[in-house]
Structure 1
Amino acid sequence: MLFVVQCLHDRGVLLSATLKILSNWSIPSTWIKRIFADTDILTNPQVFQGYKELTKACPDSVQVLVYPPKNFITDDGYINFEKYSPDDWIEEKDDIEIILRKVKEIKIESIEKYHQNFRVVEKSEIQLKRGKPNEEVIQWLCDYFQGRLLYISETSQFFYYQQKGYWGVFNSKTLLDRVLSDVETNQWSYQILENALKLVAPKFFRDAEEVMQLFLNRRYIGFQNGVWDFETGKLLEHDPQLYISGLLPFNYVSASQPPFKPSAPGFVLGL
């Protein structure tokens, strides 16, 4: 005689519900030789866990039998995750021989291996999609911005020292765009960098008034090939500590007189 028991599939629920039904029928779990599983044991990890727990209460020789999906790929090219329960494919006239011809045995360990591989890919894709930050990207941003980033939380502005040799003002989006254009390679998605920046920014917090004072220095003026120091009369290399907010579009050429006199503070301040 063949018994088909229909139960819930939550992990542990399938086990307890099935064993309870069998107990009511005075059938010990050691008598179970075959488990006719729903087809979605192949694709649904939660369903699989329920059947896995059930097999542990059965003899080691128990078989897990599945009615194979008939239309795994539809005519229009989509994957069809079919779900067949035994009551969907067992017909009234079927005897045990006919039933066994309709199903195939599946090894629990093979399903588990498939689901493990699937979960690794799934987890990776979800993290990439949601942009979950990690310690590695946070550390990379901290190292990259060291000495070249100021953050004003009141206005959500970033003062960033660019490779061109001067400081610029950015919001979070334009800052990341600039960084990605400056670096040669990047292994993280934009969303991961964006979320990591939210955690990194407070490490570079500066008061707005303090930042303004840094850029009020009228001692320097920037050129393409360096920074002129009015006090020493020398051309210095570009340096973030000089707090230059712009460069003239040409090189400084040495002459007997400095290119500009300090008597033009308004012009210098605007650069």
Structure 2
Amino acid sequence: MSRSTGAPVAGAHEEAASQPIPFTTDARRALQLALAALWLLDGLLQLQPFMFTPAFATQVLAAAANGNPGWLASPIRWASGIVEHEPVLINTGFAALQLAIGLGIAWRRSVKPALAVSIVWSLLVWWFGEGLGGLFSGGADPLTGAPGAVVLYAVLGVLLWPTQKPTTCDFVATQPVGPVAARVVWAVLWGGLALLALVRGPLAPAGLVTLGLVAGSAILAVIAVAVFLPVSAMRVGVILALVASAWIWVVGESLGDPGGGMSTDPDSGPLLALIALAYWPSRSDP
């Protein structure tokens, strides 16, 4: 009896093992590993000598309060004051946590708790370290990092969440949140960047700079709606998003200023590119 019932089960296991890994599953893991690498890089950047001095609190953290309303600025100044008094101990904790998040995402068995911690930590840093990306200070500019690089870590934590929910996955970001929510996230992100660029246009110097911001806003708006178009058009939109991410990173963010000694992350460009790759269509037009 045991042989007759065991053979079909073994055969079923062998058949399941021989099935190819779905595109979305394989691609999601690759993007998770890329995200893990960015978290590890953040942890290493946090180990720069400047980060262990009171100046990190006064020149970087407290600066996020500038221009923000009181309800946002006051908690930032409070938190920066704590860091200023114990910079070595607290910054060691910051670096250790980010390294642990990166290693946790890289290890399959701990990817879920690591992503959960990354989402919570990202939102805290977005408030206390970035002042919500300057969205309430009047100086938010997508070319210089708005809406804040760290909130994009939280977005990626959600979009790359591992799940086995049975669903038809058109792209990696579909499976964790569903097709409708995934498309809304894309539209809000890139549409928000388009709006920020458009608002920033009149504030910029006259001439080609203003014209460039308006043109950039139009391109970002096209990217925002591409996710609702047929697959071939959506693929073009993702490519435009990758180009825009590279442009923002190279021209606006100077590759995150890696040699300055004060950078806590590589800035928003690489994160925007990872988000774009999570929306690459896995099928062709019928």
* TM norm structure 1: 0.21
Compare the two structures and name the one with the higher strand fraction.
1
Decide which structure has the larger Cα Rg and report it.
1
Using the size of structure 2 for normalisation, the TM-score is 0.20
The structure with the largest helix share of the pair is 2
Higher relative contact order (CA 8 A, sep 6+): 2
